[in-house]
Every structure is written in C-alpha cells, then in structure tokens.
Amino acid sequence: MREYHGPDLFEVVDEATREMRADLGIPASHIQNGIDLPVAEVTSPDLEAVEDHAAAVALVVHDNDWAGAAPYLEAAVERDPEYALAQFLLFGVYQTLGEVEKSNAAMAAAMENLYRVTERTSYVIKSQYYFNIEQDMDKSIAVLDMWSRIFPNDIEALQQRAMYLTIRRDLAGAVRDYESILEIDPTQYHVLQDIASTYRQLHDYDRAEAALKRYIELFPARADGYDDLSEFYVATGRLDEAREALDQALLLEPGNQSLRMQMIDLELKQGRYDVVAAALERELPRAENDRAHARAHSLRLLLAVNQGRADLAADALDSFYVHMAQVRNPLQLDIIYSLMVPALSICGAPDEAIQRLDAVAARLPAPFDGLTGVGRAWALKDLGRPEEARLELKRATAVVDQYQFETFRATLAMVSGLIERREGNFEAAVEQFRLAIDQAPQNDPNMYVQLAGALRESDDLKEAQRVIEEGLNLHPAHAEGNLERARIEWARGSKDAAAEYLEVALAAWKEASPGYLPAREARELKRLWSLTQ
C-alpha cells in the first residue's frame, strides 16, 4: 500500500493519479500522448474556491438547495473567475432560479475557460451551451456526435446523446445508442430497461417485451425487472398479466413501498376506488421519503380525476408539490406541475387552475413560462374562451418549437383537439387526437376517449366504437370512457349496454364536485333515457 505526503493537496493527488495509471497497466505511450491536466488546472489553484465549489455541489446534489448553492459559487468564481466547473454549475443554478442574464454570463465564462476542464467535460458544457444559449438542438447533438466519434467507447457520450434524441423524438436513434452501449459494455444491463421504454414509445411492443424479459432472465431475483414488465403490461392494456408480474415483484420484495404503489395504480385502473382510498390512507404514514410521499399524492390526484373531485385534486396537487420540491430541480418541477394543474379544470375548477398557472408562470424564467400556456389553454377551453385558449397554445408551441421539446407534441395536439371539439370542428379534432395518440410517450386512455367522442359527433359510430374499446382496454374503469361508450351504444341502438356503461360512470362519480360537468351530463342522460324505455 502506498502513502502520499506533501504540503500541497493537489500535487499529492496528481502524484497518486500518475502512479495509479501505471499500476493499472496503461501503456506508457498512451499516458504520454494523452492529456493529463493537473488537478489545479481542471478545478482551481485556489483551495478556498474549490471548497466553495464542493459545498455548492453538496447543496445541489444532496439537499436540492439551489438558492443556497448560489453564494458559494459566486464566492468561488470571484476568487477564480476562470474556474470553468464552478461557472458551469453557476449557470445551472442561475437558470433554475430564473436569473437569465446571470446564467448566460456564467455559461459564457465557462465556455471561455474550457481549457480548464477535461476534454470529455468540455463536450458536456458545449452541448449545453448550444441547447440553452444558442437554442440550436442540431448543434448540441453535433457536439455529442463528435464526442462519440473521438471517444467511440465512451458510454457517457452515448447516454447523453440518447437523452437528447429522446427529447427530440428520434426514438430509433436513441435505441441505436442504447444498443451501442450494450455492445461496448455488456454489463450495462440497466440499458435494457431504456431500450424497452423506447421501443414501447415506437409501438414495437414485441421488442419492448423481449428486452424486459431478457433483463429478468439475467436477474431473476431482482424485483425491478418484474416491476418494469408490469408497467409495460399496464401501458398496453394487459392488466391481468400486469398483476401477475407485480405479484412476482412483491414476492421478492414484500416491503417495497414503490411496488405497493404500483398495485394501487392497478386497482385504480380497474375501478376499485374504495380499495384505492383505503390503501393510500395506509401508505401515506409509511412513506419513507419525499419521493414516496409525492408518488402517493400523484395517485390521489389520479383518483380525484377519476371521481371528478376538485377538492381532492387540489389537496393532492399541493401535497405533491411540497414533497417534490425537496428532491427535484425547481425549474423542472414547475414545468411538470404546470402540466398537472389541468386536473383541476377537468374536475370542474378551471378558475382555480388558471390562478395556479399564473403563479407558476411568475416563478418560471422566460421563455419557459410560455409552457404554462398548455394548461392555461385547457382551462380556458373549459371556461368557454376558445380564442384565448388558442393564443395560449400558440405561445406554448413557440417554446416547444424553439427548444425542439418533441415530448410535448402529444399534449399540444391533445389540447388543440379539445379546443376544436368544443367549437364543433369534429374533423379537425379527430386529426389532432390521432396525432396525440401517435406521438404520446405512453398510451393515454383519455386520448382515445376524446377521439371516440369526436368520431361519434361526426357520425362515424363504427370507428368510434373501435376506438373506445381500445381506450377502455387500457383503463376499463375510466369513468368518462364508460360515459362515452354509453353514448356510442345508445346511438347504435344498444340501449341495455348503454345503461350498463352509464352506471359504471355514475358509480365513479357519486362524490363528484358540483361543477363537474360530465357527472351532471350522465345524470341527465339517465333521466332522459329512462323516459324513452
């Protein structure tokens, strides 16, 4: 065992690193020809600046305290303005806190001092520069292409590029990168889960299932493989198989709360609402951390939407936000939250949804505040203000176009379809709903329900029936789906079937909020239909 001593910590680390490379058998020619910057050059020669940077990293990574990290980073770059790593993190902190001018200045400083970082790190910084400052996704990906060409066995380059390609919805390209990772290092078995997820988005379900089963073959004693397989079966409407896979996971890890949450979600899709409410009441006091709390409250939100309960939706949203704020980047959280707020409008409280979205927009820096236009458009549609809704959707679309956030396209199309349907433009609505289904990262039963409704309203009952069957296969207890199925069956003359589906919806909505329109419509339909029989 070697020991290293000296008055300069950086020199001690440099000496240890050189000898470690020799001990590992790295050829001398490779060591001589490679770039080996001293620690002081890739960080800072100022030890106090390094300490401040380290303190900031700890606050961000371990405490999710971005505001608390800012003073440490400001102190670090004041002592050493050329400290590129500190400037890069300061860029991320300022961006998260909505300090646009400061974040741009920090990124500019990081770019000016790229010689102070390793070559691999320079590619990370440059790709972020093109994505965030130049807002040029093509150049950002081109940097990652260069990184992967120069370092063809660098898995991190492929992982970064796969992430960007997924955002851009180049799913075939993302699959190629994930498969390349496995070719380079066959021990990276976790990539099989990424491959499965991407194939699922491509609607190539056979390959997705094969990748998940391959993972289980390699790790038969790990619960996560069965958990992922269960999620896949849920997403493709194979609920009985999903339960079997989840039972296997729970057999391996009976104390795993995340798996129990998955089972609650499955019960929700099958309409066992009393079981779900009781299970969530048991699980919340047992929640081990903020993520577990947030997961439970997201399920409460889904329960609220299924039951049309604005009061429960509001409480679930508040609790979800409080707990996720402890573990998630605040900028990312506000964007995610803004996409969840329309649940209030769905449950009959569009005015409250607008108020919350106004608050979110005030917290988000430009241009990301424009993304709140998705939720605002939804709520404005429910308030009967379609022209304002279209303007908000246009504002959100501009941000999506600017950053090529292709994962938002399905939601944009969905909301556009809702506006067109509300205005009676059924053909345009059908087109948008089909686009939404095609581009959605996961199968969303509500998209099928809305598409079926627009088809019924355009008198295509045969296709409407096919679509609603597909939607209810994903979520048999979906209340609005059952109401839509009832309408379709009634229009086709199947009055007994219509009455059965209507009762399923009404049972779900027995505690619905007074402002929840679908429940009122369902009760009125029951009254009218009873008069004709």
Mean pLDDT of the region 272-297: 95
Task: Identify the band that residue 40 occupies on the pLDDT scale cut at 50, 70 and 90.
Answer: very low
d(CA 164, CA 201): 15
Residue 202 near residue 441, CB atoms below 8 Å: no
Would you state the pLDDT for residue 532? 76
Residue 301 near residue 317, CB atoms below 8 Å: yes
What value does the mean pLDDT of the chain take? 91
Amino acid at position 512, single letter: A
Task: Identify the band that residue 288 occupies on the pLDDT scale cut at 50, 70 and 90.
Answer: confident
Would you state the pLDDT for residue 135? 87
Task: Identify the band that residue 100 occupies on the pLDDT scale cut at 50, 70 and 90.
Answer: confident
Residue 408: is its pLDDT beyond 80? yes
Residue 361: is its pLDDT beyond 70? yes
Would you state the pLDDT for residue 30? 36
Residue 299 near residue 261, CB atoms below 8 Å: yes
Residue-level length of the chain: 533
Give residue-wise pLDDT tens across range 463-510. Answer: 999 999 999 999 999 999 999 999 999 999 999 999 999 999 999 999
Would you state the pLDDT for residue 425? 97
Residue 376 near residue 335, CB atoms below 8 Å: no
Give residue-wise pLDDT tens across range 168-223. Answer: 889 999 999 999 999 999 899 999 999 999 999 999 999 999 999 999 999 999 99
Question: Which of 224, 223, 151 has its CA nearest to residue 194?
Answer: 224
pLDDT > 70 in the chain, percent: 92
Would you state the pLDDT for residue 8? 43
> What dotted CATH number matches 9-159?
1.25.40.10
Mean pLDDT of the region 298-313: 97
Residue 351: is its pLDDT beyond 70? yes
Q: What is the CA radius of gyration of the chain?
A: 26
Question: Which of 476, 523, 468, 520 has its CA nearest to residue 494?
Answer: 468
Higher pLDDT, 515 or 395: 395
Residue 140 near residue 164, CB atoms below 8 Å: yes
Domain ranges of the chain: 9-159
Global pTM value: 0.84
Task: Identify the band that residue 525 occupies on the pLDDT scale cut at 50, 70 and 90.
Answer: very high
